[in-house]
Protein backbone atom coordinates (compact mmCIF):
# COMPACT_ATOMS: atom_id res chain seq x y z
CA UNK A 1 0.00 0.00 0.00
CA UNK A 2 2.65 2.43 1.10
CA UNK A 3 4.81 1.28 -1.72
CA UNK A 4 2.01 1.68 -4.19
CA UNK A 5 1.49 5.26 -3.08
CA UNK A 6 5.17 5.98 -3.32
CA UNK A 7 5.24 4.65 -6.84
CA UNK A 8 2.21 6.62 -7.79
CA UNK A 9 3.74 9.79 -6.47
CA UNK A 10 6.92 9.08 -8.37
CA UNK A 11 5.01 8.52 -11.56
CA UNK A 12 3.17 11.76 -10.96
CA UNK A 13 6.44 13.56 -10.37
CA UNK A 14 7.75 12.18 -13.61
CA UNK A 15 4.60 13.25 -15.39
CA UNK A 16 4.88 16.74 -14.00
CA UNK A 17 8.52 16.95 -14.95
CA UNK A 18 7.87 15.60 -18.38
CA UNK A 19 4.90 17.83 -19.08
CA UNK A 20 6.70 20.82 -17.63
CA UNK A 21 8.71 20.89 -20.83
CA UNK A 22 11.89 22.35 -19.36
CA UNK A 23 13.46 19.06 -18.33
CA UNK A 24 15.72 17.56 -20.92
CA UNK A 25 15.43 14.13 -19.44
CA UNK A 26 13.46 12.54 -16.68
CA UNK A 27 13.68 9.25 -14.91
CA UNK A 28 10.94 6.78 -15.52
CA UNK A 29 10.33 4.26 -12.83
CA UNK A 30 8.46 1.32 -14.27
CA UNK A 31 6.20 -0.49 -11.86
CA UNK A 32 6.70 -4.10 -10.91
CA UNK A 33 9.79 -5.93 -9.84
CA UNK A 34 12.64 -7.19 -11.96
CA UNK A 35 14.11 -10.51 -11.06
CA UNK A 36 17.71 -11.11 -12.05
CA UNK A 37 18.97 -14.62 -12.72
CA UNK A 38 22.75 -14.64 -12.29
CA UNK A 39 23.26 -17.51 -14.71
CA UNK A 40 21.99 -18.53 -18.15
CA UNK A 41 18.45 -19.55 -19.05
CA UNK A 42 17.57 -23.12 -18.20
CA UNK A 43 19.35 -23.13 -14.87
CA UNK A 44 17.77 -23.94 -11.53
CA UNK A 45 17.90 -20.25 -10.66
CA UNK A 46 16.21 -19.45 -13.94
CA UNK A 47 13.47 -21.97 -13.26
CA UNK A 48 13.04 -20.62 -9.77
CA UNK A 49 12.95 -17.02 -10.98
CA UNK A 50 10.40 -17.66 -13.69
CA UNK A 51 8.11 -19.56 -11.33
CA UNK A 52 8.60 -16.81 -8.79
CA UNK A 53 7.61 -14.15 -11.34
CA UNK A 54 4.58 -16.13 -12.40
CA UNK A 55 3.35 -16.58 -8.85
CA UNK A 56 4.08 -12.96 -7.93
CA UNK A 57 2.05 -11.72 -10.85
CA UNK A 58 -0.76 -14.07 -9.88
CA UNK A 59 -0.67 -12.78 -6.31
CA UNK A 60 -1.33 -9.27 -7.68
CA UNK A 61 1.09 -8.05 -5.05
CA UNK A 62 3.13 -6.50 -7.84
CA UNK A 63 2.30 -4.79 -11.08
CA UNK A 64 4.35 -7.07 -13.26
CA UNK A 65 7.43 -9.15 -12.61
CA UNK A 66 10.13 -9.36 -15.23
CA UNK A 67 12.96 -11.89 -15.35
CA UNK A 68 16.34 -11.30 -17.00
CA UNK A 69 19.52 -13.32 -17.06
CA UNK A 70 22.92 -11.89 -16.30
CA UNK A 71 25.33 -14.82 -16.31
CA UNK A 72 29.00 -14.76 -15.48
CA UNK A 73 31.49 -16.07 -12.95
CA UNK A 74 29.09 -18.57 -11.44
CA UNK A 75 26.61 -15.84 -10.58
CA UNK A 76 29.09 -13.36 -9.19
CA UNK A 77 28.69 -10.97 -12.15
CA UNK A 78 25.00 -10.83 -11.32
CA UNK A 79 25.82 -10.17 -7.73
CA UNK A 80 28.24 -7.44 -8.80
CA UNK A 81 25.41 -5.88 -10.75
CA UNK A 82 23.15 -6.18 -7.73
CA UNK A 83 25.68 -4.27 -5.68
CA UNK A 84 25.87 -1.60 -8.40
CA UNK A 85 22.11 -1.26 -8.21
CA UNK A 86 22.40 0.01 -4.69
CA UNK A 87 19.17 1.54 -3.44
CA UNK A 88 16.97 0.07 -6.18
CA UNK A 89 13.95 -1.28 -4.31
CA UNK A 90 12.51 -3.11 -7.27
CA UNK A 91 15.25 -5.52 -8.15
CA UNK A 92 15.57 -9.03 -6.78
CA UNK A 93 18.16 -11.64 -7.53
CA UNK A 94 17.53 -15.34 -7.23
CA UNK A 95 20.53 -17.14 -5.72
CA UNK A 96 21.38 -20.21 -3.75
CA UNK A 97 24.10 -22.41 -2.43
CA UNK A 98 26.00 -22.20 -5.73
CA UNK A 99 26.41 -18.47 -5.44
CA UNK A 100 27.50 -18.71 -1.85
CA UNK A 101 30.12 -21.19 -3.04
CA UNK A 102 31.17 -19.14 -6.05
CA UNK A 103 32.09 -16.23 -3.86
CA UNK A 104 35.18 -18.19 -2.81
CA UNK A 105 36.60 -18.14 -6.34
CA UNK A 106 35.56 -14.55 -7.02
CA UNK A 107 38.15 -11.86 -7.58
CA UNK A 108 35.69 -8.96 -7.69
CA UNK A 109 34.82 -6.79 -4.75
CA UNK A 110 31.09 -7.58 -4.46
CA UNK A 111 30.21 -9.72 -1.46
CA UNK A 112 27.02 -11.47 -0.41
CA UNK A 113 27.18 -9.63 2.87
CA UNK A 114 26.77 -6.31 1.00
CA UNK A 115 23.39 -7.29 -0.37
CA UNK A 116 20.06 -7.17 1.37
CA UNK A 117 18.76 -10.66 2.15
CA UNK A 118 15.05 -10.93 1.51
CA UNK A 119 14.15 -14.57 2.02
CA UNK A 120 15.22 -18.15 1.68
CA UNK A 121 12.55 -19.77 -0.44
CA UNK A 122 13.10 -23.48 -0.78
CA UNK A 123 15.39 -26.44 -0.62
CA UNK A 124 15.86 -28.80 -3.52
CA UNK A 125 17.46 -32.26 -3.48
CA UNK A 126 20.08 -32.95 -6.10
CA UNK A 127 20.01 -36.07 -8.15
CA UNK A 128 22.81 -38.31 -9.33
CA UNK A 129 22.19 -38.88 -13.02
CA UNK A 130 23.74 -40.81 -15.86
CA UNK A 131 22.88 -41.12 -19.54
CA UNK A 132 20.24 -43.67 -20.46
CA UNK A 133 22.83 -45.91 -22.18
CA UNK A 134 25.37 -45.60 -19.35
CA UNK A 135 26.91 -48.85 -18.04
CA UNK A 136 26.02 -47.73 -14.51
CA UNK A 137 22.57 -49.14 -13.88
CA UNK A 138 22.56 -48.53 -10.15
CA UNK A 139 24.33 -46.38 -7.66
CA UNK A 140 26.26 -49.46 -6.58
CA UNK A 141 27.62 -49.88 -10.13
CA UNK A 142 28.83 -46.30 -10.04
CA UNK A 143 30.36 -46.64 -6.56
CA UNK A 144 32.27 -49.74 -7.59
CA UNK A 145 33.57 -48.24 -10.83
CA UNK A 146 34.48 -44.94 -9.15
CA UNK A 147 36.37 -46.68 -6.35
CA UNK A 148 38.21 -48.74 -8.92
CA UNK A 149 39.30 -45.76 -11.00
CA UNK A 150 38.66 -42.39 -9.32
CA UNK A 151 40.36 -40.40 -12.09
CA UNK A 152 38.52 -42.22 -14.87
CA UNK A 153 35.10 -40.98 -13.95
CA UNK A 154 34.27 -37.47 -15.15
CA UNK A 155 31.77 -35.83 -12.86
CA UNK A 156 29.72 -32.89 -14.19
CA UNK A 157 27.57 -30.30 -12.51
CA UNK A 158 25.72 -27.07 -12.99
CA UNK A 159 27.87 -25.20 -10.49
CA UNK A 160 31.20 -23.59 -10.56
CA UNK A 161 33.66 -25.43 -8.34
CA UNK A 162 32.50 -24.91 -4.79
CA UNK A 163 28.86 -24.84 -5.81
CA UNK A 164 26.27 -27.39 -4.82
CA UNK A 165 26.74 -29.60 -7.85
CA UNK A 166 30.43 -29.75 -7.00
CA UNK A 167 30.04 -30.15 -3.24
CA UNK A 168 27.62 -33.04 -3.55
CA UNK A 169 29.90 -35.37 -5.54
CA UNK A 170 32.82 -34.46 -3.30
CA UNK A 171 30.75 -35.51 -0.29
CA UNK A 172 29.80 -38.75 -2.03
CA UNK A 173 33.44 -39.43 -2.92
CA UNK A 174 34.46 -38.77 0.65
CA UNK A 175 31.74 -41.11 1.91
CA UNK A 176 32.84 -43.98 -0.30
CA UNK A 177 36.49 -43.48 0.50
CA UNK A 178 37.81 -41.64 -2.54
CA UNK A 179 40.32 -38.83 -2.09
CA UNK A 180 38.48 -35.64 -3.05
CA UNK A 181 41.56 -34.34 -4.84
CA UNK A 182 41.24 -37.24 -7.30
CA UNK A 183 37.73 -36.31 -8.31
CA UNK A 184 37.50 -34.96 -11.86
CA UNK A 185 34.81 -32.24 -11.97
CA UNK A 186 33.51 -30.29 -14.96
CA UNK A 187 31.48 -27.24 -14.05
CA UNK A 188 28.74 -25.88 -16.36
CA UNK A 189 27.38 -22.54 -15.30
CA UNK A 190 23.72 -23.04 -14.62
CA UNK A 191 23.77 -26.59 -15.92
CA UNK A 192 22.09 -25.69 -19.23
CA UNK A 193 24.85 -27.11 -21.38
CA UNK A 194 25.58 -29.99 -19.09
CA UNK A 195 22.82 -32.09 -20.50
CA UNK A 196 24.20 -32.61 -24.04
CA UNK A 197 27.57 -33.59 -22.62
CA UNK A 198 26.02 -36.27 -20.40
CA UNK A 199 24.04 -37.64 -23.29
CA UNK A 200 27.16 -37.68 -25.49
CA UNK A 201 29.06 -39.49 -22.74
CA UNK A 202 31.70 -36.78 -22.22
CA UNK A 203 30.49 -36.59 -18.66
CA UNK A 204 29.97 -39.96 -17.03
CA UNK A 205 27.89 -38.90 -14.11
CA UNK A 206 26.43 -35.62 -12.99
CA UNK A 207 25.01 -34.29 -9.83
CA UNK A 208 22.43 -31.65 -10.59
CA UNK A 209 19.18 -30.12 -9.49
CA UNK A 210 16.13 -32.25 -9.91
CA UNK A 211 13.62 -29.76 -11.22
CA UNK A 212 15.49 -28.25 -14.16
CA UNK A 213 16.04 -31.69 -15.70
CA UNK A 214 12.75 -33.29 -14.75
CA UNK A 215 11.57 -33.49 -18.37
CA UNK A 216 14.67 -35.44 -19.37
CA UNK A 217 13.99 -37.97 -16.64
CA UNK A 218 10.46 -38.34 -17.86
CA UNK A 219 11.48 -38.69 -21.51
CA UNK A 220 14.09 -41.31 -20.59
CA UNK A 221 17.21 -39.47 -21.82
CA UNK A 222 18.68 -39.49 -18.34
CA UNK A 223 18.56 -42.04 -15.60
CA UNK A 224 18.49 -41.09 -11.93
CA UNK A 225 20.66 -43.34 -9.77
CA UNK A 226 19.96 -41.67 -6.44
CA UNK A 227 18.53 -38.67 -4.71
CA UNK A 228 20.87 -36.70 -2.41
CA UNK A 229 18.13 -35.50 -0.08
CA UNK A 230 16.89 -37.15 3.09
CA UNK A 231 13.81 -38.56 1.36
CA UNK A 232 12.77 -39.80 -2.03
CA UNK A 233 11.22 -37.34 -4.48
CA UNK A 234 7.58 -37.99 -5.20
CA UNK A 235 7.07 -39.39 -8.68
CA UNK A 236 10.69 -40.33 -9.15
CA UNK A 237 11.75 -43.97 -8.96
CA UNK A 238 15.12 -43.49 -7.30
CA UNK A 239 16.49 -44.32 -3.85
CA UNK A 240 18.14 -41.87 -1.50
CA UNK A 241 21.92 -42.10 -1.12
CA UNK A 242 21.46 -43.38 2.41
CA UNK A 243 19.23 -46.18 1.15
CA UNK A 244 22.05 -47.46 -1.07
CA UNK A 245 24.61 -47.25 1.71
CA UNK A 246 26.22 -43.89 0.92
CA UNK A 247 25.95 -41.84 4.07
CA UNK A 248 25.42 -38.45 2.49
CA UNK A 249 22.46 -36.09 2.87
CA UNK A 250 22.76 -33.02 0.72
CA UNK A 251 20.24 -30.39 -0.32
CA UNK A 252 20.57 -27.25 -2.34
CA UNK A 253 18.66 -24.12 -1.26
CA UNK A 254 17.50 -21.00 -3.07
CA UNK A 255 16.60 -17.56 -1.92
CA UNK A 256 16.32 -13.98 -3.07
CA UNK A 257 18.53 -10.99 -2.45
CA UNK A 258 17.94 -7.31 -3.05
CA UNK A 259 20.52 -4.60 -3.72
CA UNK A 260 22.32 -2.96 -0.83
CA UNK A 261 21.26 0.37 0.61
CA UNK A 262 17.54 -0.23 0.95
CA UNK A 263 15.56 1.52 3.65
CA UNK A 264 13.95 -0.73 6.27
CA UNK A 265 10.57 0.08 4.73
CA UNK A 266 11.72 -0.98 1.29
CA UNK A 267 13.20 -4.16 2.70
CA UNK A 268 9.96 -4.90 4.52
CA UNK A 269 7.95 -4.27 1.37
CA UNK A 270 10.04 -6.82 -0.54
CA UNK A 271 9.77 -9.21 2.40
CA UNK A 272 6.00 -8.82 2.35
CA UNK A 273 5.99 -9.71 -1.34
CA UNK A 274 7.50 -13.09 -0.49
CA UNK A 275 5.02 -13.57 2.35
CA UNK A 276 2.20 -12.94 -0.09
CA UNK A 277 3.85 -15.15 -2.66
CA UNK A 278 3.88 -18.13 -0.33
CA UNK A 279 0.13 -17.84 0.06
CA UNK A 280 -0.56 -18.15 -3.65
CA UNK A 281 -1.76 -21.49 -4.99
CA UNK A 282 0.57 -20.92 -7.95
CA UNK A 283 3.61 -21.02 -5.67
CA UNK A 284 2.34 -24.03 -3.77
CA UNK A 285 1.85 -25.81 -7.05
CA UNK A 286 5.33 -24.78 -8.23
CA UNK A 287 6.86 -26.29 -5.11
CA UNK A 288 4.97 -29.53 -5.54
CA UNK A 289 5.65 -29.91 -9.26
CA UNK A 290 9.38 -29.28 -8.91
CA UNK A 291 9.96 -31.44 -5.89
CA UNK A 292 10.91 -28.37 -3.89
CA UNK A 293 10.33 -28.03 -0.18
CA UNK A 294 9.24 -24.74 1.25
CA UNK A 295 12.11 -23.52 3.42
CA UNK A 296 11.13 -19.94 4.03
CA UNK A 297 13.37 -17.79 6.16
CA UNK A 298 12.52 -14.13 6.77
CA UNK A 299 15.19 -11.46 6.04
CA UNK A 300 16.98 -11.43 9.40
CA UNK A 301 17.17 -15.21 9.75
CA UNK A 302 18.17 -15.51 6.12
CA UNK A 303 21.06 -13.11 6.76
CA UNK A 304 22.30 -15.31 9.63
CA UNK A 305 21.89 -18.39 7.47
CA UNK A 306 23.88 -16.79 4.62
CA UNK A 307 26.71 -15.90 6.97
CA UNK A 308 26.97 -19.54 8.07
CA UNK A 309 26.84 -20.79 4.47
CA UNK A 310 29.57 -18.49 3.22
CA UNK A 311 31.83 -19.55 6.07
CA UNK A 312 31.10 -23.26 5.72
CA UNK A 313 31.62 -23.30 1.97
CA UNK A 314 34.46 -20.91 1.39
CA UNK A 315 36.25 -21.73 4.60
CA UNK A 316 37.97 -24.98 3.47
CA UNK A 317 38.78 -23.56 0.03
CA UNK A 318 40.33 -20.42 1.43
CA UNK A 319 42.20 -22.49 3.93
Name the site residues for another protein (rule: CB under 8 A). Answer: 11, 14-15, 18, 21, 23-32, 34, 63-64, 66, 68-73, 76-77, 79-81, 83-86, 88, 107-108, 110
**Is the Cβ of residue 17 or residue 236 nearer to another protein in the bound state?**
17
CB 35 within 8 A of CB 62: no
Nearest distance, CB of residue 54 and another protein, angstroms? 16
**Is the Cβ of residue 158 or residue 229 nearer to another protein in the bound state?**
158
CB 94 within 8 A of CB 256: yes
Among the listed residues 82, 112, 110, 107, the one whose alpha carbon sits nearest the alpha carbon of residue 97: 112
**Is the Cβ of residue 53 or residue 297 nearer to another protein in the bound state?**
53
Q: Report how far residue 127's alpha carbon sits from residue 229's, in angstroms, rounded to the nearest whole number.
A: 8
Nearest distance, CB of residue 210 and another protein, angstroms? 26
DSSP structure class, residue 264:
H
Nearest distance, CB of residue 251 and another protein, angstroms? 28
Nearest distance, CB of residue 196 and another protein, angstroms? 18
SS3 229: coil
**Is the Cβ of residue 34 or residue 303 nearer to another protein in the bound state?**
34
Nearest distance, CB of residue 91 and another protein, angstroms? 8
**Is the Cβ of residue 125 or residue 191 nearer to another protein in the bound state?**
191
Q: Report how far residue 257's alpha carbon sits from residue 297's, in angstroms, rounded to the nearest whole number.
A: 12
Nearest distance, CB of residue 308 and another protein, angstroms? 25
Q: Report how far residue 142's alpha carbon sits from residue 149's, in angstroms, rounded to the nearest whole number.
A: 11
Nearest distance, CB of residue 17 and another protein, angstroms? 8
Nearest distance, CB of residue 93 and another protein, angstroms? 13
- The CA–CA distances, whole Å, from 246 to 4, 134, 144, 158, 241 equal 52, 20, 12, 22, 5
**Is the Cβ of residue 20 or residue 220 nearer to another protein in the bound state?**
20
SS3 227: strand
Nearest distance, CB of residue 198 and another protein, angstroms? 23
SS3 256: strand
**Is the Cβ of residue 66 or residue 276 nearer to another protein in the bound state?**
66
Q: Report how far residue 132's alpha carbon sits from residue 156's, in angstroms, rounded to the nearest whole number.
A: 16
Per residue in 65-90, is it b (16+ CB within 10 Å) or e — as a string?
bebebbbbbbbbbbbbbbbebeebbb
Whole-angstrom Cα Rg for the chain: 21
**Is the Cβ of residue 187 or residue 291 nearer to another protein in the bound state?**
187
> What is the length of the chain?
319
Among the listed residues 24, 189, 190, 11, the one whose alpha carbon sits nearest the alpha carbon of residue 90: 11
**Is the Cβ of residue 21 or residue 319 nearer to another protein in the bound state?**
21
CB 65 within 8 A of CB 49: no
Amino acid sequence: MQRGMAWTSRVLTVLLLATGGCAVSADVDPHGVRIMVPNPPGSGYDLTARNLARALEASSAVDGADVFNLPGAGGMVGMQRLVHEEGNPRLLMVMGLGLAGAQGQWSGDARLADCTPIARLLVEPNVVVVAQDSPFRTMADLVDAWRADPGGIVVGGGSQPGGPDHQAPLMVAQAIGIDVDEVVYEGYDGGGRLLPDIVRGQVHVAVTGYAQNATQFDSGQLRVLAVTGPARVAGLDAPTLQEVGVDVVFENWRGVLAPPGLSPAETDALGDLIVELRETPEWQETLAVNGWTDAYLPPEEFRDFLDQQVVSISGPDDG
